[in-house]
Amino acid sequence: MTTILGITGSLRRASTNTGLLRALAEMAPAHVKMDIADLHGIPMFNEDDEAATGKPESVKALDARIRAADGIVIACPEYNFSVPGVLKNATDWLSRGGSPFRWKRVGIVGAGGGQFVGTARAQYHFRQNLQALQAITMPRPEVFVNHNEEKFDAQGNLTDAETRRYLAKWLESFLEWVETRP
């Protein structure tokens, strides 16, 4: 059994990035268990709060889920050409006192609106953050879904057949990379 944890960087109910993770979980082969975590309940990082009360339970729970997984997939939306604050904030908490990402295999995917570069700018900034957390990020293939308004339904489910095919191939590569650890 291979365990994969998907983490979505969007808090939106109908998030297309969460939809990408749901699609991956649906496609996963029988020997793979893929769960999805979101970042609801993680407060803004403040060193004074950390000194007073330590890590919040929400951060400790996410930390434990990351440690328990064989591989992590992070769906990274793009806000203002970079990583959304909620995702960056979560990594700041997780980086404290020993990163759960240390030597962990991490794949990054993302979906964005319009004809833009499908979260590429955000993903490349996020790779840099993950470097600080000692994660091992998969170099490629990459997933940059653009025109998400045409490829997902109103609930954020991935409906575009070509994108689903591409994602299935990406998942195959990701699982091979996690399971064989070259």
Ligand X SMILES: Cc1cc2nc3c(=O)[nH]c(=O)nc-3n(C[C@H](O)[C@H](O)[C@H](O)COP(=O)(O)O)c2cc1C
Residue closer to ligand X, measured from CB, 59 or 75: 75
Work out how close the CB of 153 gets to ligand X at its nearest, in angstroms, rounded to a whole number: 12
| Beta carbon of residue 44, minimum distance to ligand X (angstroms, whole number) | 17
**What single letter denotes the amino acid at residue 121?**
R
Q: How far is CA 174 from CA 47, 106, 149, 170, 178, in A?
A: 35, 9, 26, 6, 6
Supply the minimum distance, in Å, between the C-beta of residue 37 and ligand X.
Answer: 14
| Binding stretches for ligand X (CB under 6 A) | 10, 12, 15-17, 77-81, 112-113, 116, 148
Considering beta carbons, is residue 149 or 172 the nearer one to ligand X?
149
Beta bridge partner(s), residue 158: 152
Residue 63 or 78 with smaller CB distance to ligand X? 78
Looking at the Cβ atoms of 122 and 130, the one nearer to ligand X is 122
Between CA 99 and CA 168, with CA 26 as vertex, the angle to 5 degrees is: 85
φ and ψ of 170, to 5 deg: -60, -45
| Integer Cα distance of 48 and 45 in angstroms | 9
Shortest distance in whole angstroms from residue 175 CB to ligand X: 23
